Amino acid sequence: MTLYPRLLRRFAGSLLAGWLLLAGPAGAQSATAQRDVLREITDVVGLKPRFELLATSQVQNAAAVVYSGKRYLLYNPKFVSAVNQAGRTDWAGISILAHEMGHHLNGHTLRQGGSNPADELEADEFSGFVLRKMGASLSQAQAGMAVVSDEQASPTHPGRSTRLKAINEGWQRASQQIVASSRNTAPSAAPAVIYNRPAPAPVVATTNRVSQPANMIGRITFRSNPDELYYLTSHLNIVRLDQQQRTAQVVGRLTRSDSAAFPYVLVDGQQRRLFVSAAGAVFDKNGQQVAMLSDPS
């Protein structure tokens, strides 16, 4: 998935996380009630909960994002509630959070590029593994994905049956570990014996600088309103920023087309279409240029 130098992963959520943090309580709420869930998830994989969980209506479902070096899980409470209701179990919502955490722990949020089937299946398998460790049955672990996933595969996401199979694989792997540990004699809890030994020679410390992935793909400037801030995200979402209100809103999406002249199509919430040339020029259905997609800086 390339448009200009490789599209940046999960920028939509990153951008929202930044604005939500600036907006304070009105824009996002730290999900205190869900913190125990995060701790349970990290406990079963032996990690400390180094994530911030934010409840916000600015995302449609849930997203794992990195902003200023910190990892966030954004989720829409209404979406999680609807998933729990449709799946007839609270495990459904927990599985969604576990899936997004799987993106963080597998390093997906640190790579450039948008969603892809391989990453989604890794996060699905992690979700199944974690929920089994937490005590969920297989049907409970699959309840959320059975509700939210599409039956047919897409270029970015696998189909429902494939995703449920990945959850099953993670669940079965955790179950095998639990059974194996119950059969074995508990290992000794005696600490290691520390022996005196010569001090090691001093080592000169070196620091490797790792450049953080950029958080923007591009900016869309409309001729009718050039001062309005629109950005293209790594999920190919079009986000409108309001600097005064410090809010971000997803207003459209960029999709691939089969046209060589216009390889991308911009579709808004009312299914209106604009056509994007390979050079980034944006045209309406009458062939008039209405905007330009350019570097975000």
Digit-coded pLDDT (tens) for 227-238: 888 888 877 888
164 and 224 share one domain: no
Cα 14 to Cα 64: distance, rounded to the nearest angstrom: 8
Question: Is residue 267 helix, strand or coil?
Answer: strand
66 and 165 share one domain: yes
173 and 242 share one domain: no
pLDDT computed for residue 90 by the predictor? 92
pLDDT computed for residue 46 by the predictor? 82
In residues, how long is the chain?
297
Per-residue pLDDT band at 142 (split at 50, 70, 90) = very high
CA 96 to mean position of chain CA atoms: 11
Whether 39 is in a domain gets the answer yes
Whether 1 is in a domain gets the answer no
The residue that leads in pLDDT, 289 or 23, is 289
pLDDT computed for residue 198 by the predictor? 57
Cα 28 to Cα 21: distance, rounded to the nearest angstrom: 7
Whether 31 is in a domain gets the answer yes
pLDDT at 207 over 70: no
pLDDT over 70 percentage in the chain: 72
228 and 287 share one domain: yes
Q: Which domain holds residue 157?
A: 11-181
Per-residue pLDDT band at 124 (split at 50, 70, 90) = very high
pLDDT at 208 over 60: no
Cα 96 to Cα 116: distance, rounded to the nearest angstrom: 17
pLDDT at 213 over 80: no
Q: How many other C-beta atoms lie within 10 A of the C-beta of residue 85? A: 13
pLDDT computed for residue 185 by the predictor? 64
Cα 114 to Cα 2: distance, rounded to the nearest angstrom: 9
Cα 195 to Cα 210: distance, rounded to the nearest angstrom: 37
Q: What average pLDDT does the segment 31-43 reach?
A: 66
Task: Say which residue the tokens 């599985």 belong to.
Answer: 95
pLDDT computed for residue 183 by the predictor? 72
pLDDT at 10 over 50: no
Whether 206 is in a domain gets the answer no
52 and 138 share one domain: yes
Whether 198 is in a domain gets the answer no
Domain C-terminal end among 156, 181, 206: 181
21 and 141 share one domain: yes
Q: What average pLDDT does the segment 138-145 reach?
A: 95
The residue that leads in pLDDT, 45 or 96, is 96
88 and 176 share one domain: yes
118 and 165 share one domain: yes
The secondary element (H helix, E strand) that includes residue 141 is helix 138-148
Whether 70 is in a domain gets the answer yes
The residue that leads in pLDDT, 243 or 289, is 289
pLDDT computed for residue 243 by the predictor? 64
Q: What average pLDDT does the segment 257-283 reach?
A: 85
Whether 36 is in a domain gets the answer yes
Whether 193 is in a domain gets the answer no
37 and 100 share one domain: yes
222 and 175 share one domain: no
Q: What average pLDDT does the segment 61-82 reach?
A: 83
28 and 129 share one domain: yes
152 and 225 share one domain: no
Residues 105 and 47: beta-carbon distance below 8 Å: yes
pLDDT at 171 over 90: yes
Domain count, the chain: 2
pLDDT computed for residue 257 by the predictor? 83
pLDDT computed for residue 150 by the predictor? 92
Cα 292 to Cα 281: distance, rounded to the nearest angstrom: 5
Cα 105 to Cα 71: distance, rounded to the nearest angstrom: 10
pLDDT at 188 over 80: no
Domain C-terminal end among 181, 209, 231: 181
Domain C-terminal end among 181, 207, 235: 181
